[in-house]
Every structure is written in structure tokens, then in C-alpha cells.
Structure 1
Amino acid sequence: MEVVNSLAKANQRPKRSFYIAFGHDEEVGGRQGAVRIAALLKERGVRFKFILDEGLPVMEDIFMPGRLATVGVAEKGILTLRLSVNMTGGHSSLPMAESAISVLARAVARLSHTAHPHHFGSGIEVAMLEHLAPVVPLAKCFAISNLWLFGPIVAWTLAQKGETAATIRTTTAVTIMRAGFKANVIPGYAEAIVNHRVHPKDTFEDVIRRNHEIINDARVVISVDEEELLNTPPTPVSSWSSFGFSVISKSVRQVFNSIPVAPGLMVGNTDARHFHDLAHDIYRFTPTIFKPGDSKRFHGPNERITKSNYAQTINFYHHVIKNADHVDGTPESPRADDL
């Protein structure tokens, strides 16, 4: 809105039309916001050249020394599962060898300590590294250029840090456990909620099947949490050789001193997933600086942005609007069906 106000005050009208969509309920699924906005635009026959939503940041000293801008060309799916165990309860003075709680706890521990297989070796992750090859030290460049040989080592390296491990595999997070109601009663029922962020190379069926294999206990019932409205499969992958990606890349380099820009996988989820009927290419990028340890601030204490980075954020969106008219200095006239 700062950029729009600035352009309006300067009486500057972009050649390429653009829409700004504000959803109010992204954190709870976007059903009343983005979903309805997308449906209305589709009903009106609107089709976009590209869409830009919030997403991956400018990362500093995470994938490489210095800064790197990763633009999300896809995002993981969300699958929320309910694990439930029904067994005979009883009085705490006469405990059984196993209870619903102990069986569930074992299942949860197995899921928490068993990673899903990684998918490094093709697609987004390799494209990201290939974009970085020209700017990393010679040894890393050599490894990236010869993934047929060094692929397992590169995958192992990425798997050692949470921020990078999440980009190459489906992740598992146990978020809720429920059991018991009284200190001296052994409950007959226990349940846990498990949240998976699903890699584009996996399906929901793959994840559920692997969970059964990992838990390996028929007493643990696994079901999709039907009360959870956020369940959605991984999104299609957008192009990183397109007009939209070029606009975003050029804007990043203009604002952040020519730092490298690479495609990436969005490990969280955004409202962008509701707009795939409106554009072939959807990108997820937030022009904020992300340093080691900052992930602990998401939805947590001291979540913040610096004043200087706030100014860079405004400047970035200004450049996106201007560059949509003049990518690489070449004006491109919009078509009626391709805004």
C-alpha cells in the first residue's frame, strides 16, 4: 500500500494491470478470504501472467556464506493425521504391562525419530544449487557441478540443519497429545495429532503408508483429521525461466546489491495455493532478511523486522511493479487475458 500510494501521488500509472488481494484468514486456511477472492476472480474470467505471494526470505549465512534470495516456485502440502489407541483402562494401583498411553507414546517416538526419505537429486533442490554454483567457493561449485558423484554428500549436508533438511523431504511434527482425566485412572483412550508438511515428490498415500510401516503396531489407528481444514496436497511447480521469475529476480538484485537469486521450495504454506486456477506461475517470496536462529521467532517471541529491512521491502514491491512493465529494459504490452 505504501508503494501504491507513492505511485498515485506521483501520478504514475503502470502499463501492466495488477491486482492486490488481501486475505484476512491465511493462518486458518484462507477459506473466507483467499478462497473467495480466487473464486470471484475466476468467475470474472481474470487470468494473470504471474502471482506473487509471501514466502521464502532473503537468507543470510544459511545455505551459503552471505545472502541468497530464494523464490518459492512450489510449496509443500499439509497433511494432519490423528493417531488413536483404544485399550482397556483401569485403576492406577493395578497397572497393566501396556496402556493406551504407552502404546501411543511408542508410536509417536518412532515417528519423531524416523525421517521420511529425502528427494534430493532432481527438481527444485538441484535447480537452486545450480543457480548458486557460480557464486560459491570452488570446492562447492565442483560438487554441485558433479552431483552424479557428490549428490549423496550434498544431500547429507542439507539434512544436518532443520532449515535445509525441510527442503528435501516430508517432515513430521507431533503437535497435540490427549489422554487421561484423573490422576488415579489409567485411560482406555489416547490420541495424538501429527502434522506433516508433504514434499512435492510425495503423495498423502505415501506418507500414510510410511507411517504405518514406521509405527508397525495395528493397535494404533491412523486417520486423516477431518476436523483440520488445512489439509491440502503439494502445489504444482512454477517455472524459474519465466517472465514472472525474471521480474522478481531483477527486483531482488536491484534492492539487495545483486545477491544471487534461486528457485526454492516453500516449506510452509500460504494463500497462494488457492490461486492455481488463475495463473500458470505462482511465486512465494518475502523480501525480509532471515538469519540462523530466526526460525524460532516465527509465531514466537520477538518476531520482528528491522526498520532498514522494512524500507527494502517497500522498495522491492516498487521495483516489481515497475519491472513488470520493463523487464531488462524491454516494455511488454499486456494482453487482455494475460494481465
Structure 2
Amino acid sequence: MMESDERSRRALTYAEKLSRMIRVRTVQEPGNAQSFEDFHALLKELFPAVFAHCEIKVFGNDGGSLLFRWRAACAEGEGKPALLLMSHQDVVDAEGPWTHEPFGGEIAEGRVWGRGALDIKGNLLCILQAVEELIEAGFSPATDVYVASSDCEEIGGNDLVPDYLRAQQIDIDLLVDEGPCIIKGDDGVLAAQVAVAEKGQVIFKCSAFGPGGHAMSVKKNSPLVRLGAFMAEVDAADLFEGDARPDLFDKTGTTVAFTMAGASNVPNVVPREAWAICDVRLAPGRTVESAHHAMVEVGNRHDVEVTVSKSTPPSPVSDTSGLAYTQVTAAISSVYPDVRPRAVLLSGGTDTKHFTDVAQCCIRFTPMVFTPEQTATIHGIDENIDCAALPSGVDFFKTLIEHRSNR
């Protein structure tokens, strides 16, 4: 069989597996625990060697989060730092007019369509398929390999698996979780965006208060006017100048976005409180406290109260000169010879934030080529992935595991 024919066969095989994974509606919501049980049963059917050869632990009240341990070939290897691969099971719900049924997993136009194709069941497929094929080939890793798959990443995740790893004093030198993909730049060069850190997040509630009353008699400078002036100043000002990291490319500074607002629900009533929610994404080096201080300074000028609703600090920045990072970039170069790896900062959040004190080097990277149009469908309408992208994703994880055994 020609190489191109074999790759096409693999692409279709993987696409059919992913199609079945998408058909299970793993949305984390009350009363949907059965879907995760069904998903686990499907994984056992699709990846029998993984379930037969790996130790499996289940976490959570509903038994949703999974941790696989593929033991090292010898006892000596079990004492060496381990590899942890991660990709969650849960997906966000699907709304709007989809071209293909969002939980139908339809294969059409050379793509697999449906919620989770990109975020992030496609990546989970690649990890488990890589382990499956290596086991079937008789390969044994030189160090322990763990695979963690949360059932609640889309709603913030939890510390159940990292708490277990801490309690067991498991030494992990490299964690690879979902993250940016391989993209084609304006210059036509493919770039692998390897995220070595992720921004933190602070949700602020910004409130202006006043006596309220009838619109015909209330004086100027009401809560809504003061809140508007506050929002305009925050939006126009560079409150966090100097946050950008020159060694990480693109959009590395702290960002501010107003996302929700409320006031009176009657046209002729001035509200006693006008409020807005502000989502601030913190670059490494910025603290929750310093961001709060900057917002409060502006709030004081407009008599607006700024409080922290919830927060997550920025992650540590993984060392790009270390062996673990080099193993990731070497695997990328092996599978994608024409691709240039680039260290970046991830603006969104992943489950990695719960593991930063468990693993020495935390990488967020999805090893497949996505188009800009495809990435725009994440959490949106008509999410899809190219069938042809899947074999390279599998090969990346196989190569990473194999290269670590040859170090």
C-alpha cells in the first residue's frame, strides 16, 4: 500500500472513531452523568489495549474524570520523572443553526463535524490512539506515562487528579495539555504555537450607586452616567502598560473587556445601582491585587465601587531552554519538518492551571493544523476538523513518547 493510501486509511479510521465520540453529548450539566458513563464505555470499546494495559482511576462524585497510568518497562523507569498528557471529555452545549447536527458526528467534505471536534475530543482521540498503537506494537515506555481526562474543564475543572498526584508524590517533568494549534501565518509559513504559560483571570463587578427615582426629577451624574464614564476611561486607558513579554509573541499583555451590564428595567426609572462585569486577563507578572488596585484608582474618580467576584492568577512560565520543552519541539519538527515552533502565551484557560505545582514544565499545545475559519468555530457554530489532520496528531504523541524513551 502506498504511503498516501495508508495515511488516507488512517485518517478515515480516526475520523470514524472521533465521529462516535462526538455523538455522546458530554455536556457537564445536572442530570447528565449517564452521558459520561456512556462515553467511558465507548472509550473502552475504541481503545481496548489502553484499558487492558493501563491502570485506571476514576475521580468525582459522578465518576467522570479519568487518570490512566501506563507503567514504565522496568521498575527503574518508574522512579524517573513521568510524562502527563491531558485532554478533557466535556464540551460546551451547541446552539444556533448548525449546517450539520452538532452531536451527529457527521463525516462530510473531508471533515468531522460536531461539538468537540476541535475542543477537544479530537485531541483526546489522538492521545489515546497513540498509546493504543504503541501498546499494540509491543512498545513499552522508559518512564511512566499518565493520561488525564477531566469531565468538567469547561466549567472550571477541579483539583481531584492533581491532589492525587501530589499525595502519591508523583514526579512529572512534562505535562502537555490542549492549547494553540499549528497555523499558517501571513507569510505562508506554518507555525506551531507552543503555549508555555496561560493568563490569569479576574472577574470584577463594577457598581455605581445613587438615590434613584423618577427620570423627570433625578439630577445629573446618576449611577448609570458615572458607570459609563468609568467604563469609557478603563477602555481607553492602558492600565497595564509594560505587562507584555517581549520573549513571547502576540497579545501578551493584560487585557480588559466589559462583558455584562445592568441597571433599571423600567424606561422612566433611574436605577439605584448600575453595574457592569469586567473580565481582565492577567499576563504573567501581574497579580490579582495589582489589577484590582489599578481598577479601583479609576473607580474612585467616578465614585464606582470595584470588587473581585472570582480570580485565577497567571500561571508560571515554563522554561523554553529546558529538556522538556526541547522534547516537545523535537516531536513537532519530526512530524512537521516544515513547521517552526514558537513559544506563546495562552489568553484562555485550561485544566493546566490546576497542575502547575505538580509538573515541572507545562505545555499547552494541540498538534494539528487548523484553519482560522475552523478555530473560529470553537464554542461556536459548525465546529469541525479535517480528517487529514488526525494522523499527524496521533504521530506527534507517539513520537513524543518514543523520543522520551530514547533520551
Q: TM-score, normalised by structure 2?
A: 0.64
Of 333, 338, 343, 1:253 maps to: 333
Confirm or deny that 1:264 pairs with 2:344: yes
Deviations 1:40-88 (A, max 9, x none): 11111111121111112213216x5411112111111111111011111
Distance in 2, matches of 1:24 and 1:121, equals 33
Distance in 1, matches of 2:183 and 2:346, equals 13
Q: Report the 3-state secondary structure (helix = DSSP H, G, I; strand = E; otherwise coil) of the residue aligned with 2:395.
A: helix
CA shift, 1:91, in A, is: 1.3
Deviations 1:288-326 (A, max 9, x none): 335456654332223332211223222211211112212
Contact 1:110 1:215 survives alignment (8 Å): no
Deviations 1:215-243 (A, max 9, x none): 55251001111xx3xx2111111111222
Query: In terms of mean alpha carbon deviation, does 313-322 or 289-298 score higher?
Result: 289-298
Q: Report the 3-state secondary structure (helix = DSSP H, G, I; strand = E; otherwise coil) of the residue aligned with 2:352.
A: helix
Contact 1:58 1:288 survives alignment (8 Å): yes
Contact 2:370 2:385 survives alignment (8 Å): no
5 Å matches for 1:320-331? 320-326=400-406
Of 205, 210, 228, 1:105 maps to: 228
Partner of 2:170: 46
Per the alignment, do residues 182 and 214 of structure 1 end up closer, same or farther by CA in structure 2, a change over 3 Å counting?
A: same
CA shift, 1:254, in A, is: 1.9
Deviations 1:5-38 (A, max 9, x none): 222222322222110001111122212xxx1100
Partner of 1:83: 206
Of 295, 301, 307, 1:217 maps to: 301
CA shift, 1:188, in A, is: 0.8
Contact 1:118 1:170 survives alignment (8 Å): no
Contact 2:374 2:385 survives alignment (8 Å): no
Confirm or deny that 1:67 pairs with 2:147: no
Partner of 2:134: 7
Q: Report the 3-state secondary structure (helix = DSSP H, G, I; strand = E; otherwise coil) of the residue aligned with 1:42.
A: helix
Confirm or deny that 1:119 pairs with 2:212: no
Contact 1:111 1:215 survives alignment (8 Å): no
Amino acid of the residue matched to residue 89 of structure 1? G
Distance in 1, matches of 2:372 and 2:185, equals 7
Partner of 2:35: none
Of 164, 168, 173, 2:257 maps to: 173
Distance in 1, matches of 2:373 and 2:130, equals 31
Contact 1:81 1:223 survives alignment (8 Å): yes
Contact 1:61 1:292 survives alignment (8 Å): no
CA RMSD of aligned residues (A): 2.1
Amino acid of the residue matched to residue 196 of structure 1? V
Distance in 1, matches of 2:214 and 2:369, equals 55
Q: Report the 3-state secondary structure (helix = DSSP H, G, I; strand = E; otherwise coil) of the residue aligned with 2:232.
A: helix
Distance in 1, matches of 2:375 and 2:202, equals 21
Per the alignment, do residues 217 and 294 of structure 1 end up closer, same or farther by CA in structure 2, a change over 3 Å counting?
A: farther
Contact 2:244 2:254 survives alignment (8 Å): no
Query: In terms of mean alpha carbon deviation, does 180-189 or 81-90 score higher?
Result: 180-189
Distance in 2, matches of 1:3 and 1:252, equals 15
Contact 2:229 2:302 survives alignment (8 Å): no
Contact 1:111 1:214 survives alignment (8 Å): yes
Per the alignment, do residues 295 and 112 of structure 1 end up closer, same or farther by CA in structure 2, a change over 3 Å counting?
A: farther
Distance in 2, matches of 1:266 and 1:119, equals 14
Distance in 1, matches of 2:365 and 2:263, equals 40
CA shift, 1:285, in A, is: 0.8
Q: Which runs of 5+ in 2 are unaligned?
A: 1-127
Partner of 2:96: none
Amino acid of the residue matched to residue 114 of structure 1? A
Partner of 1:29: 156
Residues paired across the two proteins, number: 279
Q: Return the structure number with greater relative CO, CA threshold 8 A, min gap 6.
A: 1
Per the alignment, do residues 291 and 206 of structure 1 end up closer, same or farther by CA in structure 2, a change over 3 Å counting?
A: farther
Deviations 1:157-209 (A, max 9, x none): xxxxxxx2x22x10011111121232332211111111111011212222222
Contact 1:80 1:194 survives alignment (8 Å): yes
Amino acid of the residue matched to residue 308 of structure 2? V
CA shift, 1:279, in A, is: 2.0
